[in-house]
Homo-oligomer: A and B are copies of this chain.
Amino acid sequence: MSANREKLTVTFQPDQISVKVPPGTLLVDAAAEGGVFIDVPCGGQGRCGRCLVKIDRGEVSHRESPYLTQQQQAEGWALSCVARVASDLVVSVPPKRERLAVETAASRGALRIRSDWPRYPAVRRLHLEMSPPSLEDNASDMERLRATISRELGIDELTVDLSLLKNLASILREGDWRVTATVDMGGPGSEGHLIDLRSGQISGPLLAVAVDVGTTTVAVCLVDLKSGRLIDRITAFNRQISCGEDVISRIIYSQRGQGLEHLQRLVVETINEILAELGRKHHFGTEEISEVVAAGNTTMTHLFLGLPARHIREEPYVPTANLFPRVTAGELGLAANPRASVYCVPGVAAYVGGDITAGVLSSGLYKTDKLTLFLDVGTNGEIVLGNREWMTTCACSAGPAFEGAGVRCGMRAEKGAIEDVRIHSQTLEPTVQVIGGGKPLGICGSGMISALAEMLITDIIDKGGRFNTRLIEEGARVRLGDHGPEYVVAWASESAAGRDIVLTEVDINNLIRTKGAIYAGIAVMARQVGVDLSEVEQVLIGGAFGQHINVEEAIQVGLLPDLPWDRFQFLGNTSVWGAYNVLLSKQARAKAEEVARGMTYLELIADNTFMDEFTSALFLPHTNVDRFPSVKVLLAK
Contacts and interface: CB of A to CB of B under 8 A. Distances in A.
Interface of A: 133-136, 138-143, 157, 159-162, 165-166, 168-170, 173, 188-189, 191, 305-308, 310-311, 315-323, 325-327, 331, 349-350, 603, 605-606
A468 B399 CA distance: 102
A4 to B, nearest CB: 29
Q: Which 6 A-B pairs have the closest CB atoms?
A: A142-B321, A135-B606, A138-B316, A135-B316, A140-B322, A133-B318
A19 B500 CA distance: 69
A316 B139 CA distance: 10
A134 B168 contact: no
A407 to B, nearest CB: 31
Given A189-B188, A308-B170, A325 B140 contact: no
A438 to B, nearest CB: 46
A322 B139 CA distance: 8
Given A143-B322, A143-B323, A320-B141, A605 B135 contact: yes
Given A135-B316, A162-B331, A310 B603 contact: no
Given A141-B319, A159-B325, A161-B325, 10 more contacts: A135-B315, A136-B606, A138-B350, A140-B319, A141-B320, A141-B321, A142-B323, A165-B320, A165-B321, A168-B320
A302 to B, nearest CB: 10
Contacts of A306: 162, 166
A527 B134 CA distance: 23
A605 B157 CA distance: 32
A320 B170 CA distance: 10
A429 to B, nearest CB: 50
Central interface residue in A162, A166, A308, by most chain B CB within 10 Å = A162
A138 B325 contact: no
Contact of A316 (B134, B159, B191): B134
A307 B168 CA distance: 9
A155 to B, nearest CB: 12
A633 to B, nearest CB: 41
A403 B169 CA distance: 31
**Chain B CB within 10 Å, residue with most, of A133, A165, A170, A605:** A165
A349 B140 CA distance: 7
Nearest to A139: B318
29 contacts: A135-B315, A135-B317, A135-B605, A135-B606, A136-B606, A138-B349, A139-B322, A140-B323, A141-B320, A141-B321, A142-B321, A143-B322, A157-B188, A159-B325, A159-B326, A160-B325, A161-B325, A162-B305, A162-B306, A162-B307, A162-B331, A165-B321, A166-B307, A166-B308, A169-B310, A169-B311, A169-B318, A170-B308, A188-B189
